[in-house]
Amino acid sequence: MIDANLVAFLTNATAAGDRVHTGSPPQNSPKPYLVLQRTDGTAPRVLSGRALFPRARFTVIAVSRDKAAALQLANEVNARLTAKARYEMAGRSSATSVKDCRRASGPTDVTVIDGDAEFHGYAQEFAFMYLDS
């Protein structure tokens, strides 16, 4: 499943280390960290009903202590996901063959400063065409 395999692919691959969260991060999560959010998914078919390569979009938010570090982390993620046109993402029980990955948007500054709370982050959306096995 691409969701789990994407987490595995990014774990310990960037300055965020193993702090790769899906959906939303735990409260007071130490920085830096990454947050993955699935924003879209389609499974196109041909006339016979046979499925083609599924598509999925994920927003990856890179969070760090300051803007510069967050942007650097975001660039690491982009380099990791788009370095090659085709690659494999191995997971615990399955693998995902990525047929295409491109950055669809971003990095977008999503920094929030509210009193003492500071959240420095950059969001990027990645579009995948893939095949799960």
Give the shortest CB-46-to-other proteins separation in angstroms: 5
Using CB under 8 A as the binding rule, whether residue 45 contacts other proteins is answered as yes
The number of residues in the chain equals: 133
Residue 39: closest CA among 108, 115, 99, 92: 108
Cβ distance to other proteins smaller for residue 15 or 129: 129
Q: Which residue in the set 23, 47, 92, 93 belongs to the binding site for other proteins (CB under 8 A)? A: 47
Residues 18, 3, 32: CA angle, nearest 5 degrees: 30
Containing 128, the helix (H) or strand (E) segment is strand 117-132
129 binds other proteins, rule: CB under 8 A: yes
What is the C-alpha end-to-end distance of the chain, expressed in Å?
8
Q: By CB under 8 A, is residue 102 in contact with other proteins? A: yes
The Cα–Cα gap between 73 and 25 comes to 16
Is 131 among the residues that bind other proteins (CB under 8 A)?
A: no
Which of 18, 40, 88, 100 is close enough to bind other proteins by CB under 8 A? Answer: 100
Site residues, other proteins (CB under 8 A): 45-50, 52-53, 55, 99-100, 102, 127-129
